[in-house]
Structure 1
Amino acid sequence: MLRRSTSRILILGAFYALYLVIGASVFCAIEGPDENKRKQELKDIRKTFLEGHTSCITDGELEAFIEKIVEAQNRGVSAIKNVTSESNWSFGQSLFFAGTILTTIGYGHVTPLSEGGKVFCVVYALIGIPLTLILFTAIVERLMLLTNAILSLLEKKLSHILTYLQVRLLHLAIIFTFLLVFIFITPAVIFTCIEKRWNFLDSFYYCFISMTTIGLGDYIPGDDVNQQNRALYKILTTVYLFIGLTIMMLTLATIYEIPELNIGSHFYLKSDAEHETEKQTLRKPTNNYNAAETEQSTFGGAKDNEALTE
């Protein structure tokens, strides 16, 4: 029988997945028509430009055309292939966008264009971001049970040759190696194979910028108009982002559990209380010593009085 907390996290996970799907569907429904309108406008501009400039083009006319192209590109509408590339607001693309909102990565390469889309984005993020933090924290708490079991095994096997701190550092090194291999290096290799314009450094750079939630948006998987199965590719990338951020949080939690590495604890308010506790601890031997002296002098005085009485 499942524990109550486990049942709750399964329900939370299911609700979170549903929340992602709902968000993707709403963004797709709201932003899709607006994007199609802008695509049609760009097609008309391109057609007019070609019909009106069969012989020669002035500098001003070329500049105006470029401005229209750049404006459309900045809003996520590409003019390549006669504006026939897949929509940025297909379900797969919308799910990817919703995932970047909830994880606060926010690449910024595609943004809501309509007023309704902007309003929904604000409300969606207000509810979804705290929900994401709750879900990640609950998952990391359970993963810590596994990592603590590994730590206990290491202590049992290596306690006779390593100090407690050395065992904890070895434990952290194992988790960090897992993070580096499976969240950074392996995905970078996969992205290098899929993204024809990316080298390994570009792919590794994308993984780092995403996992640290910096989200610069200069490298986005699946943005090539020639990319096949673009929607599925975006969905799988979204899954990677959620798994990667969970492992990142697990690594940070492991670091925080090592007092020698948790430098931030020295700047928290509780550090003042700990300092006062240390001061009291240092005072205790002195007080005991004084108490012992008092006790000794008291008994000594009593003995002297007894001797005088005798």
Structure 2
Amino acid sequence: MAGRAVGCSCPLPRLNQDNGRFALLAAFILLYLLCGAAVFSAIERPPEVRAQRAWHLRLANFTRCHNISRRELGAFLREYEAASVAGVRAEPLRPRWDFPGAFYFVGTVVSTIGFGMATPVTVGGRIFLIFYGLVGCAATILFFNLFLERTITLLAYVLRWFHQRKVQWSATARLPERRGSGHSGEVDSLDDWKPSVYYVMLILGLASLVISCCASAMYSPIEDWTYAESLYFCFVAFSTIGFGDLVSSQRTAYANQSLYRAGNFLLILMGVCCLYSLFNVSSIVIKQFLNWILERMECRRCRWCQGGKKARAHWNAVHPAAVKSRRHEVSVETVYDSETDGRRMSGEMISVKDFLASNKVSLAIMQKQLSETANGGPRQSHSRYHGFSGGVGALAIMNNRLAETSVDR
């Protein structure tokens, strides 16, 4: 009953909302890119064609007046790639604003890469870009967050499966005569198990590295870049920095051009998604490191205060007249969360629960307010997972999914 809408007689099972939202958003972004490419091509392509015609006419007049062949002049100009006339570069590059070029452009806009190899030059194109980027960037960021959710969920289930196999094998090897009771106890303990964020970060890092290496192996021979240059381009593109000094798929023609452009688009999409997920997971490690430093500083301050209290108590005992009445006595003590008492399950270095325990109160309040505002008012959560609450954003999505996967469903 829970899997179907109330009052719905459709015999088909209800689509999972998370998966449906992810699929709908992916389809929307694809349609949005196609429509944006068509609009930008219609706006920016005519000025580009006129500029190219003016350039070729001027080049023909120059060669005729100075008695220089077009081949010699072209070879000379190709040595100076920075030469440009009317915004058209002299080297033989593919058109910027035909449909494939416009599609490549809108892809760099909504992904916030922004190589800068093509920019709108018309007033209409620039105004349209402002409104187009507002919706496109917001939708793409949400897509990256949902991709992170799906990735974290998959990794958590995979790591849990491997850990469960390891626990079962250990229980069978250590206690063959108590195989039944020992096995059930170990399996029950998996309800509170969390995958180490270090393992998740390691897997995402390896995935990003593999994609970068495969993409570099493709770019190096096709674009005539060195392998180091290809790796450099992959990091700049996948991290959405987008310097624009190296840009793929910019020549007039390639061998297997359609296949190469499709592969280039897919590799950039996969690389951006994986590196975005890696950055989000790494930010938790960095935040935990900062919390650890603050805890150490707080511990030192507590020890200093306690030492000062002992010294004052000794001085008051020696000098009773110096004792002053106070309304409230404030004691400084170190408070430990009962959920983070230092125990590590499954031999992991540190769990995500431990990472977020120190700041989960303020984070949960903020995310609860944002979630209630987005849903039109306060609502009761259907379930809670060991102190993790629902929220919005990449960090909240990952917290909820890591918590959910610790409970058998």
Residue 150 of structure 1, CA deviation:
2.5
2:156, 2:195 within 8 Å by CA — same for their partners in 1?
no
Aligned mates of 1:122, 1:267 — CA distance in 2: 42
- Correspondence for 2:143 among 125, 135, 148: 135
Listed one character per residue, the Cα deviations across residues 176-201 of structure 1 (whole Å, up to 9, x for unaligned) are 212211x2111100111321x21111
Aligned mates of 1:166, 1:4 — CA distance in 2: 25
1:200 aligns with 227
Question: Quick one: structure 1 residues 128 and 86, their matched pair in 2 at CA, closer, same or farther if it must change by over 3 Å?
Answer: same
1:20, 1:99 within 8 Å by CA — same for their partners in 2?
yes
Aligned mates of 2:67, 2:141 — CA distance in 1: 57
Matched, 1:26 2:39: yes
Residue 21 of structure 1, CA deviation:
0.4
- 3-state SS of the aligned residue for 1:179? helix
Unaligned runs of 5+ in 1: 56-65, 285-310
1:7 aligns with 20
Aligned mates of 1:152, 1:42 — CA distance in 2: 63
1:107, 1:216 within 8 Å by CA — same for their partners in 2?
yes
Letter in 2 for 1:198: W
Question: Quick one: structure 1 residues 43 and 264, their matched pair in 2 at CA, closer, same or farther if it must change by over 3 Å?
Answer: farther
- Correspondence for 1:124 among 102, 127, 132: 132
1:147 aligns with 155
- Correspondence for 2:100 among 68, 92, 106: 92
Residue 219 of structure 1, CA deviation:
0.9
2:203 aligns with 174
Question: Which aligned pairs between 1:228-247 and structure 2 lie closer than 5 A?
Answer: 228=255, 230=257, 233-247=260-274
2:109 aligns with 101
Letter in 2 for 1:8: R
Question: Quick one: structure 1 residues 210 and 118, their matched pair in 2 at CA, closer, same or farther if it must change by over 3 Å?
Answer: same
2:238, 2:268 within 8 Å by CA — same for their partners in 1?
yes
Aligned mates of 1:110, 1:97 — CA distance in 2: 7
Listed one character per residue, the Cα deviations across residues 31-53 of structure 1 (whole Å, up to 9, x for unaligned) are 11110010011011101111221
- 3-state SS of the aligned residue for 2:58? helix
Aligned mates of 2:336, 2:247 — CA distance in 1: 60
- Correspondence for 1:223 among 225, 231, 250: 250
Unaligned runs of 5+ in 2: 1-12, 69-78, 171-192, 302-331, 338-409
Aligned mates of 1:24, 1:267 — CA distance in 2: 49
Letter in 2 for 1:252: F
- Normalised to the residue count of structure 1, the TM-score between the two structures is 0.71
- Normalised to the residue count of structure 2, the TM-score between the two structures is 0.55
Letter in 2 for 1:243: M
2:249, 2:264 within 8 Å by CA — same for their partners in 1?
no
Aligned mates of 2:288, 2:105 — CA distance in 1: 34
Aligned mates of 1:31, 1:246 — CA distance in 2: 29
Letter in 2 for 1:89: W
Question: Quick one: structure 1 residues 111 and 168, their matched pair in 2 at CA, closer, same or farther if it must change by over 3 Å?
Answer: closer
Residue 87 of structure 1, CA deviation:
1.6
2:219 aligns with 191
Listed one character per residue, the Cα deviations across residues 203-225 of structure 1 (whole Å, up to 9, x for unaligned) are 11110111111111111112233
Question: Quick one: structure 1 residues 4 and 167, their matched pair in 2 at CA, closer, same or farther if it must change by over 3 Å?
Answer: closer
Residue 157 of structure 1, CA deviation:
5.3
Letter in 2 for 1:179: S
Aligned mates of 2:336, 2:21 — CA distance in 1: 48
2:110, 2:137 within 8 Å by CA — same for their partners in 1?
yes
Residue 5 of structure 1, CA deviation:
2.9
Question: Quick one: structure 1 residues 283 and 80, their matched pair in 2 at CA, closer, same or farther if it must change by over 3 Å?
Answer: closer
Residue 95 of structure 1, CA deviation:
0.8
- 3-state SS of the aligned residue for 1:185? helix
Question: Quick one: structure 1 residues 50 and 7, their matched pair in 2 at CA, closer, same or farther if it must change by over 3 Å?
Answer: same
1:112 aligns with 120
Listed one character per residue, the Cα deviations across residues 258-278 of structure 1 (whole Å, up to 9, x for unaligned) are 5x764466799xxx9xx9xxx
Letter in 1 for 2:203: I
Residue 7 of structure 1, CA deviation:
1.9
Aligned mates of 1:131, 1:267 — CA distance in 2: 36
2:94, 2:251 within 8 Å by CA — same for their partners in 1?
no
RMSD: 3.4
Letter in 2 for 1:248: L
Residue 175 of structure 1, CA deviation:
2.8
Matched, 1:79 2:90: yes
Listed one character per residue, the Cα deviations across residues 206-245 of structure 1 (whole Å, up to 9, x for unaligned) are 1011111111111111223343455664443233222211
- 3-state SS of the aligned residue for 1:222? coil
Question: Quick one: structure 1 residues 201 and 224, their matched pair in 2 at CA, closer, same or farther if it must change by over 3 Å?
Answer: same
2:43, 2:125 within 8 Å by CA — same for their partners in 1?
yes
